[in-house]
Copies of this chain bind each other. A is one copy, B any other.
């Protein structure tokens, strides 16, 4: 895993993934007490940064392998990112999803060209089901984060941050990344280390699901006790990845955590001040910038909003936090 893979992914993504802008609002600057720049990956295709990794992985396959198709396990943003990237390549995709996933997510994933295979969380093993289908059809598994070409794809977001921060004449900044398994974080950290070492990447997680923060503190991979029950479902993973953790341990500053209430309030601010739709897991970095500035080290903070795939009921809760 190195910067060259990220640059090669960027070449493959050019003209296909969106180069998302850096946004800002004087109102957010005032709340945060520093300059806040927003990297809105909710505006990426399929509503999250996951399209980058999906495109990178699918486009890296040799044509014959790609033609047989790809497979992923996901009920969320990775599913949509891989499905749409495969569809645009004319490649078949199978997404293995729990049968109790929200109907809209299943419908969306199918509409993006995927064959959705449902399994029962209580009785089935998704690995067993997926493994059998993959073997039968010769599909390539695309893991959500512990996968070099996926990290490379997510890292293209970091190349953009580094270039655009330079264009804004920013010498030093904290870069806050909403962190699940660490694919995006480690990709951005590699890109910034290469292209703009004045940017320090920091992870942000929900309280109670801070496996990455604790792993960074202890120097060894720590796990979460719970795997569900958070509104920040998009970034809840059991532990940082074997590939992603060493990168984060080498390059990232101490991790931060925010409460669910803070994530909802950050969504409200994104609505009111940025005109952006953020999902709870995609808003934790903004929450840290707005409400935990005492833990930041620089006059400028760059904040990823990693996704916007949220249903109306949850979004209303965020709106209710606005005075």
Interface residues of A (CB under 8 A from B): 18, 20-21, 23, 26-27, 30, 40, 42-43, 47, 84, 108, 111-112, 268, 271, 274-278, 308, 312, 315-316, 319-320, 322
Contacts and interface: CB of A to CB of B under 8 A. Distances in A.
Contact of A320 (B18, B47, B312, B322): B312
A312 B322 contact: yes
A21 B18 contact: yes
* Copies in the assembly, this chain: 2
A18 B111 CA distance: 33
Contact of A312 (B40, B108, B275, B319): B319
Contacts of A108: 27
Contacts of A308: 275
A40 B21 CA distance: 12
Nearest to A270: B277
A43 B112 contact: no
B271 A27 contact: no
Classify the interface of chain A: helix, strand, loop or mixed: helix
Contacts of A322: 312
**Most chain B Cβ neighbours within 10 Å, of A108, A275, A278, A320:** A275
Contacts of A271: 277, 312, 315
Contacts of A27: 108, 111
Nearest to A312: B319
A275 B26 contact: no
The 5 A-B residue pairs with the shortest CB-CB distance in the complex, in nearest-first order: A275-B308, A312-B319, A275-B277, A42-B275, A312-B322
Nearest to A322: B312
Contact of A319 (B20, B111, B274, B315): B315
B275 A47 contact: yes
Contacts of A47: 275
Nearest to A19: B21
Given A20-B21, A30-B111, 5 more contacts: A27-B111, A271-B315, A276-B276, A312-B322, A315-B319
26 contacts: A18-B21, A18-B23, A20-B21, A21-B43, A26-B84, A26-B111, A26-B112, A27-B108, A27-B111, A40-B275, A43-B274, A43-B275, A43-B276, A268-B312, A271-B277, A271-B312, A275-B276, A275-B277, A275-B278, A275-B308, A276-B276, A276-B277, A277-B277, A312-B319, A312-B320, A312-B322
A234 to B, nearest CB: 13
**Most chain B Cβ neighbours within 10 Å, of A42, A277, A278:** A277
